[in-house]
Structure 1
Amino acid sequence: MSTTIKKLGKPVQNEFELFTKEFTSALQSDISLIKEISQYILNQKSKRIRPLLVLLSAKLCGLPGENTIIAASLVEILHTATLIHDDIIDEALTRRGKPSVNAVWKNKVSVLIGDFLFSRSLTNMLRIRDFEALELLSRTSEALSSGEILQLEKSSNNGMDEENYFRMIWLKTASLFATSCKVGALTVGADQEKADVLYKFGKYLGLAFQVKDDLFDYTATEESIGKPIGRDLKSNLITLPLIHTLNKLSSAENRRIRNLIKIGLQPDDVKEINNLILESGGVEYTKQKLKEISEKACESLAGFHDSDIKQSLLGFIEFNQERIN
């Protein structure tokens, strides 16, 4: 891969070091079990994309300060909390190629650790002391949970269509990308127009990231992405490649496939559905949507003067297109 996270983060290298210290400190507790799990989380190989978006967006608009570093830590805490809860819901045993928190400490402890992180994010929000930033972060915290619930609801009642799919991935993924970009701008006193443009950029970038993630379920290997492939299907989660395929089937065949997913898929069922998706062009359709969304993200930053910081933000689009995990 020609575009690496390390290269994209170079313009904010010093700020990122401050973020790392802040994030590490934010996960600390005098309770030994929390300290143990926090250290486990810190040792995992995370891309830290959202805090980098905070730092780069801030530096694009001004000079990052203490609030910028706090905000960068805050969005990563929120992201980590949602990942822990996601893995419980999906019954996932691996995360980034390592055993997930719930695989090691089981569901009861994992739920509480996720709750602890959400609570810690609230504490950090108060440290920012900026009403607009607080309101944005609070709404985003709600959106993350709402998106997961919407996905479960629509998947269980056969209501997942393309419109609901994009609404769902906006809430559960793209909203935090958008907020990361905008809150970065707000922490340096950027004007509303710049903050809104960065929010739009983050929205499209986040949508593109989730669409790419959903493609992995049909195009990747377990070794490359660090988690089981076919997990969405086995968890009764209907994503864009399958939605496109279902739209091309007869009503009877559509119902048959949805019922198979609902009652629980056997290995032969997964193979059959994967073949249907490939034959119907579900993967190619999703790749085309990914291309369109990525172009919108790129266009969003057209009003900013060219700089190494702007190029790093745009580089995340290329990074997403190239990534294999």
Structure 2
Amino acid sequence: MLKLEEIKKPIATELDDFEIKFKESMRSSVPLLDRITHYIVKRKGKQMRPMFVFFAAGACGGINESTHRGAALVELVHTATLVHDDVVDNSYQRRGFFSVNALWKNKIAVLVGDFLLSKGLSLSVKNQDFEFLRILNEAVTEMSEGELLQMEKARRLDIDEGVYFEVIRQKTASLIASCCACGAASTNAPSELVTKMHDFGEKVGIAFQIKDDLFDFGFDDVGKPLGIDIKEKKLTLPLIYALNNTSKEKKRTIINLVKNHNEDQKKVMEVIEFVRNSGGLAYAREKMLSYQAEAFNILEAFPESEYKTGLEQLVRFTTERNK
């Protein structure tokens, strides 16, 4: 499997420039805010979302100053949602480090998330990047609706496969889709090309989330605790498939374990073993590869270039990664 550093090579200079501009976009006159945003930037992730923006722009005509602003907006929105998510989930770690709410408490974390969102909006309004705002507004709306839909269904544990795909399309795929759409829009590409890139990103995002869901059942050895989704009463694709392909009695037993014994690690492992033995992992992987193939089919409409190749490699990375 290609490493992310290898995939980044065609846009390495752009990503270095982006890092500088992204830090600048977070500047504040409040020392506390500057300390917190500095802490956030130091612990940045894989930069996959900016990579999608830059590669999409390159595949649609070329990277320019507008592309950098689109990447900054996406990353500001993404970072804001992560800060807010940690508050909602009462999570005290992010990427192996203390989360903002763990160090500065919930009230400050919520305000920091709001600040990052407002910085993204200001950046776009100042430069009249109204198409970016339209794209990201749609994504943030979808992400909020997806999160609430998942919470509602988790209470009753009545999620089916159709609802599952709608939740992950909204929660995860909508932001990756917006990255690709912003990249295309930054080149003044025709609307049909922007739509194609959006659709491509959506397929990739769904495949990405299915891969994440597989990790929860130990599909790959990633050194992370198993069954986190089960403990949070989230019915993901491997479990949904397994429940739909077993007896009514067994289904009732497993749902009871998820609903009433989700804090008991032995019971959680019983659910995991049930899924492993019921073909749930193989089915989910098949679905993931199907969405990957759909993403590749969309890319066929674009001319050959190192940027198109970069997108293809990113797609493979999302489904072959081990963490």
2:317 pairs with 1:323: no
C-alpha change, 1:6 and 1:128, in structure 2 (3 Å) is: farther
**Per-residue deviation at 1:220?**
5.9
C-alpha change, 1:89 and 1:251, in structure 2 (3 Å) is: farther
Structure 1 equivalent of residue 246 of structure 2? 249
**Per-residue deviation at 1:96?**
1.5
Task: Tell me the distance in 2 between the aligned counterparts of 1:261 and 1:124.
Answer: 44
Structure 2 equivalent of residue 269 of structure 1? 267
**Per-residue deviation at 1:311?**
0.4
Structure 1 equivalent of residue 228 of structure 2? 231
Structure 2 equivalent of residue 44 of structure 1? 43
Structure 2 equivalent of residue 240 of structure 1? 237
Task: Tell me the distance in 2 between the aligned counterparts of 1:255 and 1:229.
Answer: 22
Task: Tell me the distance in 2 between the aligned counterparts of 1:130 and 1:231.
Answer: 39
Deviation string 1:51-82 (CA, Å, 9 cap, x unpaired) is 11111111112232222111101111111122
SS of the counterpart of 2:217?
helix
Q: Aligned runs of 1:205-224 on 2, under 5 Å?
A: 205-219=204-218, 224=222
SS of the counterpart of 1:324?
coil
Task: Tell me the distance in 2 between the aligned counterparts of 1:313 and 1:279.
Answer: 35
Structure 2 equivalent of residue 181 of structure 1? 180
Whether the 8 Å CA contact 1:221–1:229 is kept in 2: the answer is no
**Per-residue deviation at 1:302?**
0.5
**Per-residue deviation at 1:279?**
0.7
Q: Aligned runs of 1:2-151 on 2, under 5 Å?
A: 2-151=1-150
Whether the 8 Å CA contact 1:54–1:180 is kept in 2: the answer is yes
Task: Tell me the distance in 2 between the aligned counterparts of 1:280 and 1:106.
Answer: 42
Deviation string 1:102-148 (CA, Å, 9 cap, x unpaired) is 33333332222222222222222313424333211111111111111
**Per-residue deviation at 1:253?**
3.3
**Per-residue deviation at 1:176?**
0.9
In structure 1, stretches of 5+ residues that fail to align are: none
Q: Structure 1: which amino acid aligns with 2:241?
A: H
Aligned length: 322
Q: 1:289 aligns with which of 287, 293, 297?
A: 287
Which deviates more, 177-186 or 76-85?
Answer: 76-85
Q: Structure 2: which amino acid aligns with 1:244?
A: Y
C-alpha change, 1:220 and 1:85, in structure 2 (3 Å) is: farther
Q: Structure 2: which amino acid aligns with 1:183?
A: C
Using structure 1 for the length normalisation, give the TM-score.
0.93
Structure 2 equivalent of residue 306 of structure 1? 304
Q: Structure 1: which amino acid aligns with 2:197?
A: L
Which deviates more, 187-196 or 116-125?
Answer: 116-125
C-alpha change, 1:88 and 1:249, in structure 2 (3 Å) is: farther
In structure 2, stretches of 5+ residues that fail to align are: none
Deviation string 1:20-54 (CA, Å, 9 cap, x unpaired) is 11211122222222222211211114011111111
Using structure 2 for the length normalisation, give the TM-score.
0.93
